[in-house]
Amino acid sequence: MKKIRESNLAKMEQLYKLYESKMYSVAYGILKNLVQSEDVVQDSFIKLANYLDRIKAVDDNTTKWLVMKIVKTTAINVYRRNQRESLLFEYSEDLEIEDPQNVIDTKIISMHNRAILYPIIINMPEIYKEVIKLHYFYELSLMEISGIIGVDNSTVRKRNERAKKYIIEMIGGYENEKESEKINAELRQKDI
């Protein structure tokens, strides 16, 4: 940032005294976060320093409009960044909570290899069936599936999650997993 001249320093102090609380109100109205709102006000004053030579009167409507426009734009940019970060965090958090060691994914892949999954998929709702086939059989990422079927990435993730739950319910869930393996072993012995 360039150095502020003496005359502009006086303008900056006047701007701060006149607009700081209004700027904070605008930022807090958008962000609903105390610390981020304070940061936005500070960042806005830094941006405002570039316009000090153009400001004739501190209390005129043009200056007020400029100050409010800068703080509003800065707050909206922070809000959008927060939204992007929360979506990324939410997605990674969902994966960790739902299936921390990819147990379900591993089971689905092993079922696919043993052709056990086909009878379960036949009765699955079509929207879930499509995601399961593309993800596990054709090994496409959820982002690629989103582009193929033309729905939002978060919708594809939710369909995949629901499809996994459906499969787990159909095979008996984690509680019955040992019994299912025992029955499968007995069936294999009868075939031999």
Instruction: Tell me the mean pLDDT per 10 residues along the chain, length 192.
Output: 69 92 93 92 93 90 93 92 72 48 62 64 85 80 85 88 82 52 55 46
CA distance 98 to 90: 12
What are the residues whose beta carbons fall under 8 Å from the beta carbon of 39, sequence distance 6 or more?
Answer: 78
- Which of these, 120, 126, 122, lies nearest to 169 by C-alpha position? 120
Where helices occur in 32-173 by DSSP H, the ranges are 34-48, 61-98, 103-113, 117-122, 126-132, 142-149, 153-171
- Residue 90's pLDDT is 55
CA distance 110 to 126: 22
For the domain spanning 6-93, the CATH number is 1.10.1740.10
User: Which tokens belong to 170?
Assistant: 């159909």
Where in the sequence of the chain do the CATH 1.10.10.10 domains occur? 99-191
- Residue 133's pLDDT is 82
User: Which tokens belong to 140?
Assistant: 């496409």
- Residue 70's pLDDT is 94
- Residue 170's pLDDT is 77
Q: What is the number of alpha carbons within 13 Å of residue 43 lying toward its C-beta?
A: 17
Task: Tell me the CATH class for 99-191.
Answer: mainly alpha
User: Which tokens belong to 83?
Assistant: 């939204």
- Residue 102's pLDDT is 61
What is the identity of the amino acid at 160? Answer: N
Residue 3 φ/ψ, nearest 5 degrees:
-70, 140
- pTM greater than 0.75 (yes/no): no
CA distance 152 to 156: 7
- Residue 122's pLDDT is 81
